[in-house]
Amino acid sequence: MVGDATTSTTAITDPHVLIQPTQRLSVSGNAVFDKEDTITDQPILMEARLIELISSLQQLINSNTLLDEALMTEQSNDDDDNDSDNVQQHYDDELVSALKENEVVISKQMENAQSLSSKLRTRHGVFISLDDKIPKYNGSLFLQRLIEEEEESRCRHPTTTVDDDGGMHL
């Protein structure tokens, strides 16, 4: 007999036995509806999730710092080799892509960690400081410079577009 999470998976051969699904309960006796309800109901689970987030953030920030340094070094080497502003710089696309993806994940996980820390404090009276556990991270310097360079390039070389009605826009 195949069952879901709320029914027994044991096969019973007695035709007179009726198996009814029962609601799952947490350790505190509250009904379990989904993962978020379970986590916010249990301070131990909340703390464990927060520790996972902190560890993940530490690794992501370290990874982005290393990627940032590698790309900044590559950029400074390109700047030394090329004196002209017209030379298009090329970077390892995979490194730039990884850096951008990590930026998004860091932002989301930072929000989740702050939210979870706040819920622990307000619902359960447990204070866990994040400032001393998560390294300061203000974003990638390389990506900031790349965005600035793209904006400068657009200002120096505005693009002309033609819309559907034949009008031109600068």
3-state secondary structure 115-144: HHHHHHHHHHCCCCCCCCCCCCCCCCHHHH
pLDDT at 150 over 80: yes
Confidence band of 60 (pLDDT split at 50, 70, 90): very high
Residue-range definition of the domain harbouring residue 75: 35-155
Over residues 33-45, the mean pLDDT reads 71
Q: Could you count the other beta carbons within 10 Å of the beta carbon of residue 38?
A: 17
The reply to whether 41 falls in a domain is yes
Whole-angstrom Cα distance, residue 89 to residue 61?
25
**pLDDT attached to residue 1:** 46
Return the SS3 of 161: strand
pLDDT at 33 over 90: no
The reply to whether 100 falls in a domain is yes
How many domains, the chain? 1
The reply to whether 164 falls in a domain is no
pLDDT at 152 over 50: yes
**pLDDT attached to residue 87:** 36
Whole-angstrom Cα distance, residue 50 to residue 85?
47
The reply to whether 15 falls in a domain is no
Helices (H), the chain: 35-41, 43-81, 93-124, 141-156
User: Are 3 and 9 contacting, i.e. CB atoms less than 8 angstroms apart?
Assistant: yes
The reply to whether 28 falls in a domain is no
The reply to whether 113 falls in a domain is yes
For residues 111 and 162, the model is more confident at: 111
The reply to whether 53 falls in a domain is yes
The reply to whether 5 falls in a domain is no
